[in-house]
Amino acid sequence: MTEPTTLAIDVQGLSKRYGRTLAIENLTLAVPENTLFALLGPNGAGKTTLIHILTTILEGDGGKALVGGIDIKRNPVAARRNIGVVFQDPSLDDRLTAFENLDFHGLVYGVSGADRRAGIDELLALVELEQWRNAPVRTYSSGMKRRLEIARALLHRPRILFLDEPTVGLDAQSRARIWSYLAELRRRRPLTIIVTTHYIEEVEGCDLVSIIDHGKIIAEGTPEDLKRQHGHQSVRVMPADAAAAEAITAAYPAARKSSDGSIVIEVPDDTFAPAFLARFGTAVQQIAFEKPSLESVFLAMTGRELRDRAAEAARSTGGRRRT
Amino acid sequence: MLKLLAGIYAIWLREVKRAIRDRGQLIGGVSRPLMWVLIMGIGLNPYFRGEVFGEVRFAVPYTYIQFIFPAIIVLNIMYTSVQSAVSVIWDREFGFLREVLVSPMPRWAALLGKILGGTTIAVFHGALVLILARFADVTFTWQQLLHGLGLMTLLAFGLTSFGVVIANRIRSFEGFGVFSNAVILPLYFTSSSVFPLDPALTRAQTLVVYPEWLVTLVEWNPITYAVDSLRGAFIQFHQFDPALGPLVLGVMAVGFFIWALVEFRKA
């Protein structure tokens, strides 16, 4: 990455409280311009709250936040001109057509007639919805709706695009498509993209990642940095029988047992593999080396697996998300 | 400034488009006045004039259909205005409100566009009643028509704002339906819409015909003055001071809009 001169997002000491729960706690975040930035964390970690504050839907309780260089507390209207937002829940008018939804957006954002027409054509082509231009949004699939929302958020040519869980609830093909549109967009024009997700694999391609949990940023850096600093190479072995499993866990007390019966052992150094194979080579059915992943980073930082927690959090906070 | 107008236009246009695509609303807007003119109007027409109650003799110089005709316009506007505010609940429920809230449009402009949209639809539904004018034996000049449309617009604007206030407080569709019916019909019936308060009579004489609580309700009901001002416009008949109608309508429009704005800012 080149030397960043300006920050797209500059948050210092931001907090947000809902009654007695602290959703965001003294959070500090800096995102340079023109980066693809991912906010990774389980549901209920404070991702959506943070996005709502940065997009001026919610007001923070304390701290300072600059979006595109503009103080969002002092000048929310000016800040809104610079940002495009795709919310987690759809916000299209489904009785209107794709064109009408986009045209509405352009008018409300003060985009001139010529720019509106050109922009609508370009963006509908980008998200491959040209042939659905005059169909009511009611008839769209959820993947198509999400694509249309991305097109809409870009119509006023914002410098910063916020996407709150843009791929949640979509099938693998639709998810891949959305990421390919975003990549294509960044080739066409300078754009900072802030995306939240709890899908680890989607974060690998991002420039910068911050891991958020309980309203706090617990780690940040490029995906490679994070893996290097916090991740560990590990080996996953499938013991031949119960006796072998016992012997392995006795020899490596730090090993974790997985639900499928396999045992995961962190690799401390290069001497581990020959030593392990010499001793237990005949006691295992299967052995696999696992590269450090962001999943293991998250695990190392919080002691929990992201997915399990995601499911559990979704169950407990499912009703609370709407504002 | 131009951008602001474009934004208000966009919101207005969306409201109007949605209303046009909602057939149910249009059917209600047509069938309601038909029922009132054809059934209530024609049915009660023969009983309206020359009735004698003791010392009091009615001196309303119009047929019953002519008399209730302006009130039916008000009824249609009431239903449509308040109903169009349902879209506030709809927008919140289905997320569209956020699209407006993150836009650089100021809240007051967004609200103004929405209320103007509802006003347009309501005035249109009010004007649908005017098509029945010849069946009701009501005739008016272009000038009277413009005068009437102006009053209808003021009324629709005030009532749509009022609807937004209700919609902001009652956040479910079911609750809103129940509430709006519970408000519209009582307001309509106590607005001297279906029975006259003869302007030639003193209050004491009026109280011979009607119980005091009813007369008081009619006098306090702001819709009474809306009906009265439209009677002035379309059949040149006033039961109250002619200046009172436009004044009450103006105060309602401004007052309810400000109230709606206060509510909408909290949203």
Looking from the CA of B31 toward its CB, the CA atoms found within 13 Å total 6
Local mean pLDDT, 10-residue blocks, chain A (323 residues): 70 87 88 92 85 90 89 90 91 93 95 94 93 94 92 94 88 88 90 88 87 87 83 79 81 77 78 80 80 75 60 46 40
Q: In this predicted structure, what is the pLDDT of residue B125?
A: 94
Which of A107, A149, A165 should be substituted to probe chain B, the one whose Cβ sees the most B Cβ atoms within 10 Å? A107
| Mean pLDDT confidence for B46-56 | 60
Using H for helix, E for strand and C for coil, what is the string for B99-118?
HHHCCCCCHHHHHHHHHHHH
The predicted pLDDT at position A108 comes to: 94
Asked if pLDDT for residue B74 goes beyond 90, the answer is yes
Give how many domains chain B has, as a whole number. 1
> Alpha helices of chain A — where are they, by DSSP H?
47-54, 76-81, 98-108, 113-126, 142-154, 172-188, 200-203, 223-230, 242-251, 272-280, 294-302, 306-317
| Whole-number pLDDT of residue B267 | 63
pLDDT in tens, B108-143: 999 999 999 999 999 999 999 999 888 888 888 999
B1/chain A closest Cα distance in angstroms: 10
Q: Specify the length of chain A in residues.
A: 323
Take residue A182 and report the two structure tokens written for it.
């975003």
A141 φ/ψ angles, rounded to the nearest 5 degrees: -80, 170
DSSP secondary structure string for all residues of A110-147: T--HHHHHHHHHHHHHHTT-GGGTTSBGGGS-HHHHHH
Quick one: which of B28, B68, B31 has its CA closest to B177? B28
Give this prediction's pTM: 0.81
Q: Which residues of B touch A87 (CB under 8 A)?
A: 95, 98
Evaluated on CA atoms A193, A198, A199, A203, the torsion sign reads positive
Domain spans of chain A?
Answer: 7-220, 232-291
Nearest CA-CA distance, residue B152 and chain A, Å? 28
Burial of A267 (0-12, 13-18, 19+ CB in 10 A): middle
Asked if residues B257 and B164 have their Cβ atoms less than 8 Å apart, the reply is: no
The whole-number pLDDT of residue A304 equals 66
Give the model's pLDDT for residue A312. Answer: 47
Is A103 within 8 Å of chain B by CB?
yes
pLDDT at position B72: 94
Closest CB to B6 among A77, A110, A323: A110
Distance between CA atoms of residues A171 and A270, nearest Å: 40
**Cα Dmax for chain A:** 75
For residue B195, the SS3 value is: coil
Q: Is the pLDDT of residue B202 over 80?
A: no
Q: How many whole angstroms separate alpha carbon A90 and alpha carbon A87?
A: 7
What pLDDT score was predicted for residue A50? Answer: 92
Give chain B positions within 8 Å (CB) of A108.
6-7, 10-11, 99-100, 103-105
Residue A304 vs residue B202, higher pLDDT = B202
Query: Over the range B146-166, which residues count as b (16 or more CB within 10 Å of their CB) and which as e?
Result: ebbeebbbbbbbbbbbbbbbb
- CA-CA distance, A154 to A175, in Å (whole number)? 18
pLDDT at A55: 92
Domain, as residue range, for B100: 2-266
Structure token digits, residue B104: 């650089």
Mutation test of the interface with chain B: which of A88, A105, A108, A111, choosing the one with the most B Cβ atoms within 10 A? Answer: A108
Please give the structure tokens belonging to residue A72: 């969002």
Q: What is the CATH number of domain A232-291?
A: 3.30.70
Q: Comparing B230 with A322, which gets the higher pLDDT?
A: B230
Interface confidence (ipTM) of the complex: 0.84
Nearest Cα neighbor of A86 from A176, A196, A228 is: A196
pLDDT at residue B210 in the model? 84
Tens digit of each residue's pLDDT (9 = 90 or more) over B154-175: 999 999 999 999 888 887 878 8
CA distance linking residue A75 with residue A98, whole number of Å = 31
Q: Indicate if the pLDDT at residue B51 is higher than 60.
A: no
CB contact under 8 A, B10 and A107: yes
Alpha helices in chain B (DSSP H): 2-21, 23-35, 42-44, 64-84, 86-93, 96-101, 107-130, 142-169, 173-189, 203-209, 212-220, 222-235, 244-266
**Domain A7-220: top CATH class:** alpha beta
Q: Counting Cβ atoms within 10 Å, is residue A314 exposed (0-12), middle (13-18) or buried (19+)?
A: middle
For residue A51, the chain B residue with the least C-alpha distance is: B102
Could you identify the residue written with the tokens 């974790």?
A256
A-to-B residue pairs, Cβ atoms closer than 8 angstroms: 72
In angstroms, what separates the C-alpha of A287 from chain B's closest C-alpha?
A: 49
The predicted pLDDT at position B108 comes to 93
